Structures are given as structure tokens and as C-alpha cells.
Amino acid sequence: MKKFYLLIFCFCFFAASLFAQDSNKLKLSVKKGSVQLASDDGQFNFGFGGLLFMDAASYFDDETDLGSGSEIRDVRFLMKATLWKKWDAKINIGFADGAVSLKDVFLKYKIDKNSFVRIGHFLEPFGIEQTESFTSIKFLYASSTMEAFRPRRNLGVSYATWGNKHFWEAGLFGSDTNNKTQGDEGYGLTSRFAFAPVQTDAGVFHVGISGIYRTANSVGFDESGIENPKSIRYRSRPATHIERRRFIDAKVSNAENEVKLGFEIIAATGPLFLQGEYIDASVSRKSGNEDYHAKGWYAQLGYLLKGGNYKYKMKSARLAKPAPGSIELLARYNETDLNDSDALIFGGKQKDITIGCTWYMNHNMQMKFNFANVDLDENALNGEENFNLIQTRFQLAF
């Protein structure tokens, strides 16, 4: 909690010091449910908000005894600022599981209206679902493929630019803020490029590619001061969070580095959309160990039963969130394979089918319902099994 209070204090002190040197007055407003303060001359803007996610899930036909229940999935507090029109700052604090964690904490310089440089702690630019926020992701949770291979948030610096039909972002990243292990921290080079030749009221077509090269993190030293063998791990939950166990899990020992490639597609016409991603991951290991290879993919469909047509945002190279009042029907098929017989690593294979419905009640509230069937092979946590689950979410963002 000390980190959280310190960040709040620094943010407020910085804002106060700006206006102590100037006679500018702040105007208070509420935009899309979020509180905002802006100076008369438009040079400064401050916003405060938060997120709340409440989930419930029930599991059926499970050979493993799964724990149905409910939870407050996450609570977040958000502060953001625009300074001198050119600089953006953001601090996003999470309180999931009763612990304080840093989410987005960065400073961004807007080079022009179509490019920026960002430094801090934020999501690496890899694929579509990796860069989606909780407020815009289609299902309750990202696909198991993305959960297994995504780089998540790390400390780094990136450059992004976009035009009428393209988007490109690349960055250099270290580890996340929770890495306390002794030894050299791994680093990664990450990039995403997207091309959208069709963006009309009648339809959208987008293709993209992402790539990551990352060295393995140190895992400390033994009693003799010799560095422990490094490892890289891929794992995923079965399309849910209330049941915390990961049913597929591959720990690759004696790892040196990993390379991941992602391919993506978005196609939309009117109230119908298709989105898919394929990820291929390879781990290079020390001499005498066979390199490891894993892969996964998903494809999902959506239909706006109410809410007009799908829109596209080139600035983020993703579909825009449907308008308030929209009702969206969804379906997804996903496969994630962490087995590699050549490397003698059998992390398990998961196939799952999910259907869902999302009601975008207004700018700030959503209701989601998902039904999923999960099929696991003999190398999964408790062997081969097949089970169903129903889960819901109430989501508030302001």
C-alpha cells in the first residue's frame, strides 16, 4: 500500500505545483462517466477513474473437483494527465486478490498526431488480445493461447506510428516490476505491424504480424555462487479465473532465449466480424538439450444483435468497442499445444469452445455471459478430461 500512497501523493503534488506557478483555473467536467479537470488555456488536463469486475462461475462434468464460486476479479484506480498538450502520463493501480500491483505506469510524448514515444510499465505490442483492455476484450478472458504466450506488461520504451492504412510499434523491454530475482534480468525486442487496406462503412479487413525475441531471466545463484539454470514457462488456465489452477503447463529448463511470432486477421462487414490469431513459440536451449517448440491459435466470430456496424481504429489497429446499448453475440474456438515430443516436454494440449453474449449497458457498465466446453489431453494437469463451465461478469469502468 505504501507504493500506492506514494504514487497518489506524487501525482497530486505534481499537478498542484504546475498551477501554483500560474493563474490558470481548473474546470471540472464529467466525460463518459469519468471526472476530468482542465485548464482554461487547454494546456493541461487531468482525469481520475476506476474499474470494478465482479465474476461468478459454475463448473460441470468435471473429473477434477473444480471450485465453483464468485469473486471480485479486480479493482483498479486510474489517474491520467495531459501536460502542455504534448505529454501524457498514466498511473493505473490494481488491487486484485487483495494485493497492490502496478498496471500501466508510463509517460508518453506525442511527436505528432500520428506517432509517439512511450516509456514506463505497459503492455508489449504483440497481437490483438495482448493489447486489449478489460473494457474492450470480447470474452471474459483472453484465449488460452494468448494467456500462455503473451508477454504482458513490462518496463520498457517503445515508438509507435500509424497512417491511413498501417500501424507499427516497436520497443525494447526488460522485466516487470515484481522481478526480485538475483542475477541478470532478461530483455526483449517486441514489434507489431498491421495493415488495413479496407476501412469503410461497409466493411473492414486487417492483417498483421508480431514478433518477440527475449532472453531468459536469471533465477538466482546456488550456494557456491554459480548461476542456476534459466527456464522459460508457458501455461494457461481453462478459459476461467475463479478456478485458479493451470491445466496446461510447460516449463522449459536450460533456456537461453525465446522467439515468438504472431499472425492476426480481422474482417468485418456490417454487424458481423471475424478475428483470429496464430502464435508460434520456440525456445533455444543450452547445448545438449533439444530446442522446444509450441503453438496455438483461436478464431472468433461476433454479431451485433443491436448497435449498428463494427467500427475500426487505426490508432490501435483493433476494432472499436461497440456503442452504448449494443448487444453482442460471440463464439470462439481455441487450441493451445504445449507438447513437444522431440524436446521430451509435455505441457498438455487444450481445446475449448466458448459462446457468449455481452450487453454494453452504457459508457460505463457491461454485463457478460460465457459458456465454455474445455477438452484436455492426457498430458494436462490431471490427465485427459472434458468439462463445461458457465460464467458471468458485471463490469464498471468510470
pLDDT tens, residue by residue, 99-147: 888 899 999 999 999 999 999 999 999 999 999 987 889 999 999 999 9
| Choice between 182 and 274, residue whose per-residue pLDDT is larger | 274
Please tell me whether residue 8 adopts helix, strand or coil conformation: helix
Using the structure block, give the residue that is written with the C-alpha cell 541478470.
Answer: 184
pLDDT tens, residue by residue, 165-183: 999 999 999 988 777 777 7
Asked if 348 and 377 touch (Cβ cutoff 8 Å), the reply is yes
- Whole-structure pTM value: 0.90
H or E, element range at 266: strand 255-269
Q: Is 17 left (phi over 0), alpha (psi -120 to 50) or beta?
A: alpha
Bridge partners of residue 313, in order along the sequence:
318
pLDDT tens, residue by residue, 126-137: 999 999 987 889
Query: How far apart (Å, rounded) are the C-alpha atoms in residues 252 and 220?
Result: 17
Using the structure block, give the residue that is written with the C-alpha cell 497518489.
Answer: 8
The DSSP output letter for 229 is: P
The DSSP output letter for 241 is: S
Task: Round to the nearest angstrom and report the end-to-end CA distance of the chain.
Answer: 22
| Choice between 63 and 373, residue whose per-residue pLDDT is larger | 373
pLDDT tens, residue by residue, 307-350: 999 999 999 999 999 999 999 999 999 999 999 999 999 999 99
- Which of 350, 291, 357 lies closest to 328 in space, CA to CA? 357
pLDDT recorded at residue 24: 62
Residue 227 above 60 pLDDT? yes
Which domains are seen in the chain, by residue range?
A: 2-397 (2.40.160.10)
Q: Which residues contact 283 (CB under 8 A, 6 or more apart)?
A: 232, 252, 255, 256, 257, 258, 291, 292, 293
| 3-state secondary structure labels for all residues of 328-385 | EEEEEEEEEEEEECCCCEEEEEEEEEEEEEEEECCCCEEEEEEEEEEEECCCCCCCCE
Which alpha helices (H) appear in the chain, and where do they start and end?
Answer: 2-20, 144-149
Q: Which residues contact 277 (CB under 8 A, 6 or more apart)?
A: 127, 128, 129, 143, 145, 146, 262, 263, 264, 265, 297, 298
Asked if 396 and 51 touch (Cβ cutoff 8 Å), the reply is yes
Query: How far apart (Å, rounded) are the C-alpha atoms in residues 214 and 232?
Result: 10
109-145 burial code (b ≥16 CB/10 A, e <16) = eeeeeeebebebbbbbbbbbbbbbebebbbbbbbbbb
Asked if 255 and 231 touch (Cβ cutoff 8 Å), the reply is yes
Q: Which residues contact 68 (CB under 8 A, 6 or more apart)?
A: 57, 58, 59, 242
Q: What is the mean pLDDT of residues 233-260?
A: 95
